[in-house]
């Protein structure tokens, strides 16, 4: 790829990131208006969703806190039952649901988001079950759980992977509130 191709790709990535950031401003402002609280337990996105929420002024009224649980032990420490990970693997709908439920309960939040999966590389700590681009996430809103699965196209960076998952989460929340 020549310089012009790289410049166009970089511009496209910046445009996509700006679009996702705008969407999260919209979501955060809506949550403020509705007086709804939110929390996350993020593994694959490593706090990106919580970060996007806090980019909006006034977000402290809605984000109660967040967990970055990058390893299995961290998930268990924050309330994900070890048996769920052992029985279904860390990369599963069941684990994402347990993550969403645990963070919503810990923070007594209206919305809890759990995200687990593999971005661009195989996870050496969970190599047998790690498939790059496969992500599971779950969202519990006022006690109603829904889980999702997405297969991401290869992305140019880890940030691009995180932003794509964040966009999927945004779309799923907006369909429900």
Give the β-pairing of 111-117 and 134-141: antiparallel
CATH of 3-156, picked from 3.40.50.720, 3.90.950.20, 3.90.78.10, 3.30.70.2740, is 3.90.950.20
Q: What band does 87 get if pLDDT is binned at 50, 70 and 90? A: very high
Q: Is the pLDDT of residue 103 over 90?
A: yes
Q: Is the pLDDT of residue 124 over 90?
A: no
Q: What band does 2 get if pLDDT is binned at 50, 70 and 90? A: confident
pLDDT at position 21? 97
Q: Is the pLDDT of residue 47 over 80?
A: yes
∠39-119-127 over CA atoms, to 5°?
Answer: 110
Question: Which helix (H) or strand (E) is 11 found in, with range?
Answer: helix 3-34
More reliable by pLDDT, 39 or 124: 39
Contacts of 23 by beta carbon, 8 Å cutoff, 6+ apart = 167, 170
Q: Are 146 and 102 in contact (CB under 8 A)?
A: no
């Amino acid at each position: 790829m020549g310089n012009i191709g790289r410049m166009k790709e970089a511009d496209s990535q910046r445009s996509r990131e700006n679009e996702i950031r705008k969407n999260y401003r919209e979501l955060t402002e809506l949550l403020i208006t509705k007086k709804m609280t939110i929390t996350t337990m993020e593994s694959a996105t490593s706090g990106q969703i919580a970060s996007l929420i806090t980019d909006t002024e006034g977000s402290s009224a809605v984000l109660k806190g967040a967990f970055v649980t990058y390893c299995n032990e961290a998930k268990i420490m924050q309330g994900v039952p070890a048996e769920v990970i052992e029985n279904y693997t860390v990369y599963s709908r069941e684990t994402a649901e347990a993550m969403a439920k645990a963070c919503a309960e810990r923070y007594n939040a209206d919305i809890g988001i759990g995200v687990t999966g593999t971005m661009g590389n195989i996870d050496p700590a969970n190599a047998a079950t790690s498939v790059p681009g496969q992500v599971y996430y779950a969202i519990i809103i006022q006690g109603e759980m829904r889980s999702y699965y997405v297969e991401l196209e290869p992305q140019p960076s880890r940030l691009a992977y995180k932003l794509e998952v964040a966009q999927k989460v945004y779309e799923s929340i907006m369909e429900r509130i």
